Amino acid sequence: MAASVVAAAERLRRAIRRSPPWRSPSHRPLSTRASAVRDAFLSFFRDRHGHRLVPSASVRPRGDPSLLFVNAGMNQFKPIFLGTVDPRSEMAGFRRVANSQKCEEACCMAWELLTQVYGIPEDRLWVSFFGGDPKAGLEPDLESRDIWLSLGVPASRVLSFGPQENFWEMGDTGPCGPCTEIHYDLAGGVGAPQLVELWNLVFMQHNREADGSLQPLPQRHVDTGMGLERLVAVLQGRRSTYDTDLFSPLLNAIHQGCRAPPYLGRVGVADEGRIDTAYRVVADHIRTLSVCIADGVSPGMSGAPLVLRRILRRAVRFCTEVLQAPPGFLGSLVPVVVETLGDAYPELQKNSAQIASLVSEDEEAFLASLQRGRRIIDRTLKHLGPSDMFPAEVAWSLSLSGNLGLPLDLVELMLEEKGVQLDTAGLERLAQEEAQHRAQQAGPAQEQALRLDVHALGELRRQGVRPTDDSPKYNYSLGPSGGYEFGTCEAQVLQLYTEDGTAVASIGEGQRGGLLLDRTNFYAEQGGQASDRGYLVRVEQQDVLFPVARAQVCGGFILHEVVAPECLQVGDQVQLHVDEAWRLGCMEKHTERGSHLSPERLRFDVASQAPLTPEQLRTVEGIVQEAVQQDKAVYVEEVALALTAQVPGLRSLDEVYPDPVRVVSVGVPVAHALDPTSQASLQTSVELCCGTHLLRTGTLGDLVIIGERQLAKGTTRLLAITGEQARQWVERSCPGVSVSLTALTLGSPPHRPERWARVWHRKGMAQEVEAATERLSRGSRDVVEAQRLSKDIGRLTDLALLGGYGVFCRAVDTAVMPQWQRRELQATLKGLQRRANTAIRKVEMGQAAKKTQELLERHAKGPLIVDTVSAESLSVLVKVVRQLCEQAPSTSVFLLSPQPVGNVLCACQVAQGATSTFTAQAWALAVCSHMGGKAWGSRVMAQGTGSTTDLEAALSAARAYALSQL
């Protein structure tokens, strides 16, 4: 084996020497500018080795939950490695491809490009190879070692390493394999070598399974690539990538826009004040933000968007706190990123304005949160004793997990600057409670769907099994009566699988398994549309039904999940029947721009910089109803994928589309919609979609938007229902919502008001809101009545909030309504709540003023007032204390208010001229502890509660403590 490898390598080496030196098409000396280096890489593989150039993939992995972001150029080719690529797609035809990826064949190609094209001296290059892993049963990669030696690399510069260094994996699971790397010696032979990796060639031959084991891939591939930034640094003679023309324009822009000294490239302890670190962080982060937002990933609250949100806020911190940059500075760097990277990644140029706007808005929001956070911290610290830890609950509310979105490490830093320790144990407890809450919200785990893994797919291809013909899924039509008629499909059982994926010849009674057929009329879940369900029967025995729970597509093969009531065998002839009501429910929702749909509901995401207004929501419903009334034809046609590229307004999602691709157009023939000179595609819905659609819009029926929320900046998610479900929902939804336009100050009725007339006349929530409005207008005689009214309005607000995304919860019938109606009702209730709170404050202030005068008349002018007073709430008691101190600034006041069942309220304030040792918090604590209660507050003002039947003893304790401090 070794001899044959050496011989093959020698033939490659001789072939390279015989071939003329490769030149770039311009025949000029190669420039070391980053753009020229990138172009030379791509041209080398395309022109000399016949590779196909493909665009860089989005940094958001397509359909791969194992990764938050793309971490290598080969990620987009993972379906090829795993054998799951759609055989009809363009990707299925790839053999040799190359790209310049944001984040391939043999060793001789890499060596030729580095030494002959880029002109890197051979004596500056070292190589490493995989030395094996006995624990995993992996042999050393002696083949790579021998090839390098045969290419002339001295044995002293061919190094062997273990799996930590020379076994590449993209994630916890998936394609992987040994790798060989090329390194550059920065020292140039002077002293000890200083090696940096330039190139990595990965031999994709294994698949890391979920249990950690390695299984051979049915097809092996070579993934070869290198880091552009490191290569440019070498060619430009720089020791750091930040000193190259990929970063220098950004660093210069940062210096010009900040009050910081110029960038000097210092690191570690030499970087005093972390100035240069801040330069690097901001430059790196704004590139990351720009590329991610251009690829559709915006800062958000979970997953990849949450990572991006943290990156943005870290960049803002370094801008403002270290570089002393003005507000809005981060967004001003976006044009520099576009100028540097826009030629290679045109999506940056296309979306530059949106990127800058989104970054600036998030920066502004974070700075505002930072200011609010500082105020909350300062206010909280006033209530703490010298040795108290900062409350975990407050820190949690400030954090990314709470309300303001401040990183916890920033909260800790702000507290550290003030010499205060954070209650980390309490934080851990809150984090555990949050995790438990999320787990409960997630509900029971769904049954795992059966799938064909990479090994099963490889075996099917070795056996010559053709992908499933699923064209019968489109065999449906409108019957004479206006209803849809769905055809059946006869097929042959090609293969059966058990639940663990084992191929078997038959499955028995009661057994759950996977069924592979030569053809099917079932729609397999993809493109956002839920899978069909239904049943199948054997042709020769049609009285036994085999329920089909779902269908999944895997590499062009469609696997049907069945539960067998009796034996089913390979070779059986079967007849398939889809669940017509289920399919129609999907069809009604798929003639919309649906991000995800099932018979129960339609979810779609729209680009919107702010939440949609009630009027916009009504308009959407109205546009749909207009299309329904017009009963437009829905045209479907398969066309060459290339014809769809330049169609104005055509929305193509980040998916791999088959070629030819299926185009769906509402009301306009596909050929007319795809005409680049036509504006038809801008005036109707034209989509690339393999889903099952209605044939005419008239059968859609009603559409009701029942929920809305903002996923991230610039993206709003809407939830809707359609058809008969929407009609029934409207009729049953609002026995409790009658719209009194006068009382509720709601807007005009929606489109097609006759559709809603039967709903809104009924009495319910709106009448309660009208009654609350009348009660507010009459005013409240006391605090209890005002508080009761405020609680009633709060209850109505809670009911109005139900539904939407919680529309399927237990309380759905209490407040089910269209989202536009809910939003207007919420706005009305919010105004009422403000009025109710104002009414409470007004009553409390009036009561406090009256009691203040009574106390002033009862007590002669002096340094101390300690007494009892009747107060309906702690809020009233505090107002009495404050008014007393305002009218008698040199008097310290301590008041107790007895409540039912022996409870006692306490409030106190120390005079302006009191000694520094006399604090209100200590005063309240001394007395409330005497009553077995608790107290809280600041040095000046405090309050508390306790329980006692001996008020005189408590008052005596208050006087004694005050006299000891005066």
- pLDDT for the residue 330: 95
The stretch 322-342 carries a mean pLDDT of 94
pLDDT at residue 704 greater than cutoff 50: yes
Q: Which residue has the higher pLDDT, 776 or 749?
A: 776
CB-CB contact of 299 with 330 (8 Å):
no
Q: Tokens at residue 540, please? A: 């020769």
- pLDDT, tens only, 227-241: 889 999 999 999 899
Tens-digit pLDDT profile for residues 609-667: 778 888 998 888 888 888 888 999 999 999 888 888 777 767 655 566 788 888 989 99
Whether the predicted pLDDT of 959 surpasses 90: yes
pLDDT for 880: 95
Helix (H, G, I), strand (E, B) or coil at 519: strand
Nearest by Cα to 200 from 133, 132, 130? 130
Please determine, for residue 9, whether its predicted confidence score (pLDDT) is greater than 60: no
CA dist., res. 194 & res. 10, Å (int): 30
User: In which band, very low, low, confident or very high, does the pLDDT at 764 lie, cut at 50, 70 and 90?
Assistant: low
Residues of the chain with pLDDT > 70, as a percent, come to 80
Measured CA angle at 22 (ends 18, 23), to 5 deg: 150
pLDDT of residue 814: 37
Q: What Å distances lie between residue 306 and 351, 394, 409, CA to CA?
A: 21, 21, 16
The single-letter code of the amino acid at 552 is Q
Cα–Cα separations (whole angstroms), residue 741 to 258, 450, 582, 748, 749: 54, 53, 39, 8, 9
768, pLDDT greater than 90: no
> Rounded CA gap, 27 and 19, in Å?
17
Residue 315's pLDDT is 93
Q: How sure is the predictor about 444, in pLDDT bands with cuts at 50, 70 and 90?
A: low
Between 280 and 816, whose confidence is greater?
Answer: 280
Q: Are strands 506-507 and 568-569 parallel, antiparallel or unpaired?
A: antiparallel
The pLDDT value recorded for residue 735 is 43
> What's the pLDDT band for 312 if we cut at 50, 70, 90?
very high
DSSP per residue, 703-735? EEEEEEEEEETEEEEEEEEEHHHHHHHHHHH-T
Q: 411-425: per-residue pLDDT in tens?
A: 888 888 788 888 888
Q: Are 534 and 576 in contact (CB under 8 A)?
A: yes
pLDDT band at residue 759 under the 50/70/90 scheme:
very low
| pLDDT of the residue at 526 | 83
Buried b (16+ CB within 10 A) or exposed e, 914-929: beeebbbbbbbbbbbe
CA distance 528 to 605: 12
Tens of pLDDT, residue by residue over 64-93, are: 555 566 555 555 555 555 555 666 555 555
C-alpha to C-alpha distance for 824 and 831, rounded to whole angstroms: 11
Given a cut of 60, is residue 744 above it in pLDDT? Answer: no
Tell which residue, 347, 324, 415, 329, has the closest CA to residue 376: 415
pLDDT per residue over 921-952, tens digit each?
A: 899 999 999 899 999 888 889 999 999 989 99
Q: Answer yes or no: is pLDDT of 26 > 50.
A: no
Identify the pLDDT of residue 486.
Answer: 92
| Residue 546 binned pLDDT confidence (cut-offs 50, 70, 90) | very high
| Sequence-ordered alpha helix ranges (H) in 816-950 | 819-858, 874-887, 920-930
Average pLDDT, the chain: 81
Residue 170 tokens read as 């993209």
What pLDDT shows up at residue 779?
66
Q: Kindly list the distances between the CA atom of residue 97 and the CA atoms of 76, 170, 225, 762, in Å, as whole numbers in the listed order.
A: 11, 19, 11, 66
Residue recorded with tokens 């011989």:
7
Q: Identify the pLDDT of residue 761.
A: 33
Structure tokens at 219: 């097809």
Asked if residue 703 has pLDDT above 90, the reply is: no
Residues 6+ away with beta carbon under 8 Å from 673: 635, 647, 663, 665, 680, 681, 684, 686
Residue 333 has pLDDT above 90, yes or no: yes
Other Cβ atoms closer than 10 A to 712: 22
Higher pLDDT, 732 or 661: 661
Cα angle: 528, vertex 532, 537; to 5 degrees:
160
In the predicted model, is pLDDT for residue 97 greater than 60? no
Res. 404: pLDDT tops 60 = yes
pLDDT given for residue 782 in this prediction: 65
Tell me: pLDDT of 61 over 80.
no
Q: What percent of the chain has pLDDT over 90?
A: 35
- Asked which of 419-428, 537-546, 731-740, 885-894 is least confident by mean pLDDT, the reply is 731-740
Helix 951-965 / helix 920-930 crossing angle, nearest 10 deg: 150
Give yes or no for residue 102 having a pLDDT over 50.
no
Residue 152 · residue 137 · CB < 8 Å: no
Q: Which residues contact 918 (CB under 8 A, 6 or more apart)?
A: 892, 910, 962, 965, 966
Which one has a higher pLDDT value, 593 or 219?
Answer: 219
CA angle 555, 561, 562 (to 5 degrees): 150
| pLDDT surpasses 80 at 695 | yes
Alpha-carbon span 434 to 437, nearest angstrom:
5
Q: Which of 38-42, 535-539, 688-692, 738-742 has the highest mean pLDDT?
A: 535-539
Residue 474 pLDDT > 80: yes
Mean per-residue pLDDT, 128-134: 94
State the pLDDT confidence band at 55, using cuts at 50, 70 and 90.
low
C-beta separation of 512 from 483 below 8 A: no
| Whether residue 800 has pLDDT greater than 90 | no
Rounded CA gap, 500 and 37, in Å?
49
Q: What is the DSSP letter of 346?
A: H
For the record, the structure tokens of 127 come out as 């190589």
∠505-509-513 over CA atoms, to 5°?
55
Is the pLDDT at 440 greater than 80, yes or no? Answer: no
Split at pLDDT 50, 70, 90, the class of 522 is very high
Stronger pLDDT, 456 or 714, i.e. the higher one = 456
Please, are residues 897 and 905 in contact by the beta-carbon 8 Å criterion?
yes
The whole-angstrom separation of Cα 465 and Cα 556 is 11
Please report the pLDDT score of residue 920 as a whole number: 92
**Residues 491, 471: Cα–Cα separation, whole Å:** 13
Quick one: average pLDDT of 854-871? 91
Instruction: Please identify which residue in the block is written with the tokens 């502004």.
Output: 364
Label each residue of 379-390 as H, E or C.
HHHHCCCCCCCE
Report the 10 Å Cβ neighbour count for 52: 14
Compute the distance between CA of residue 945 and CA of residue 895 in angstroms, rounded to an integer.
11
For residue 174, give the amino acid letter. Answer: G
* DSSP code, position 789: H
531 within 8 A of 468, measured Cβ to Cβ: no
Quote the pLDDT of residue 389: 86
What is the C-alpha separation between 325 and 331, in angstroms, rounded? 12
Out of 107-111, 205-209, 736-740, which region has the weakest mean confidence (pLDDT)? 736-740
DSSP string, 181-249: EEEEETTTTSSS--EEEEEEEEEEEEEE-TTS-EEEEEEEEEEEEE-HHHHHHHHTT-SSGGGSTTTHH
Q: Would you say 366 and 312 are in contact if contact means Cβ atoms under 8 Å apart? A: yes
Report whether pLDDT(218) > 90.
no
Identify which of 598-607, 807-816, 888-897 has the greatest average pLDDT. Answer: 888-897
Q: Is it the case that residue 95 has pLDDT exceeding 60?
A: no
844-to-478, 839, 873 alpha-carbon distances in Å: 69, 9, 9
